[in-house]
Structure 1
């Protein structure tokens, strides 16, 4: 399996399926995407114009996103599993609806500092807002992922990611900061 962080909270997963999560990326994804997944409606996670340029077979998104932008897709519903993609509860400040996704051992919680229950997490992506460092660390101790990747920051400003990475490493939690477009093989 291969992963790429494409900026903001956009993650590309290459496993049995080619999956793109939160398609407001600063770098183009590879072609041939099977599923585009949207965690919530905030513009740093979903840009409808960028989405329209992506060739994909399926879209899974909060019903609010589908309705707001007049898109055809599958309405996300916590507890549902579609083609190996688990849709999980999530919480995001000021979002109408928010979901986390778990696929091929990868957990993507959007902005949330409260992570859903998931087993056998190989990689978890986490936002890195300094006010929530303690919550992220508590959640990582509970989830026990193989690797934590901080994301959801401006690529030119790594201070938040570096700050969280330092705290995680102090706690003995494996962590890696990716450059935009860098491939991570698991």
Structure 2
């Protein structure tokens, strides 16, 4: 399995013959020219996870790619003339590799802010992308996309989430809102479970796991 990070929460997962892109959003760059995608997965409707204009152009470049999203995102996309297949927790997809759908709800930002749908995706039985949630799948997670900074998240909560999931490898994501995410990375590395290795992936870089 190969992971390529396109800033913030956008990750390309290559597993066997599949090329699965997750959360191509407003704070991510470099994904726009990708071709040969088998699927695009969106965790929730916020613009930093689904940039509608660039998503439209991406799908034009990848006419064979299946688009999956939670019900809330699918409704927003439909208003923009983009059709997405709706997924919910418990679904299992075949996009050239397996994708299991987990979660259900976005993390609470503030009691006065409505909670929206948010799904997490376990790709190839190995890499889990939680979107903006603290979802803990009821299966072992080998590689975790670890949210790093957000209005709904403080560093200690990210550490607790990593400890709860206890992946073999934690790859920080969702860092574009931070001026210096390295501060958080140092904390994660210092406080990670003994079983977990932190692997920071620079924008545009690829790691093989």
| 2:155 pairs with 1:133 | yes
Could you say which residue in structure 1 is the equivalent of 2:70? 62
Query: CA 1:184–1:155 in 2, change beyond 3 Å: closer, same or farther?
Result: farther
TM-score between both structures, scaled by the size of structure 2: 0.79
- SS state at 2:44 partner: coil
Residues in 1 aligned to 2:104 and 2:155: alpha-carbon distance in whole angstroms: 18
| 2:187 pairs with 1:170 | no
The equivalent position to 1:26 in structure 2, one of 22, 29, 39, is: 29
Contact kept? 1:148, 1:176, Cα under 8 Å = yes
Residues in 1 aligned to 2:165 and 2:12: alpha-carbon distance in whole angstroms: 22
Matches within 5 A, 1:150-161: 150-154=172-176, 157=179, 159-160=180-181
Q: CA deviation at 1:95?
A: 4.9
Contact kept? 1:150, 1:164, Cα under 8 Å = no
The equivalent position to 2:55 in structure 1, one of 44, 51, 54, is: 51
Q: Once structures 1 and 2 are overlaid, which stretch shifts more, 122-131 or 59-68?
A: 122-131
> Structure 1: 5+ residue runs without aligned partners?
none
Could you say which residue in structure 2 is the equivalent of 1:109? 130
Contact kept? 1:41, 1:95, Cα under 8 Å = no
Could you say which residue in structure 2 is the equivalent of 1:81? 92
Q: Deviations over 1:50-80 (max 9, x none)?
A: 1111215201101222222222221011111
TM-score between both structures, scaled by the size of structure 1: 0.88
Query: CA 1:101–1:142 in 2, change beyond 3 Å: closer, same or farther?
Result: same
Moved over 3 A (4+): none
> Structure 2: 5+ residue runs without aligned partners?
none
| 2:125 pairs with 1:121 | no
| Cα root mean square deviation, aligned | 2.1
| Length, aligned pairs only | 183
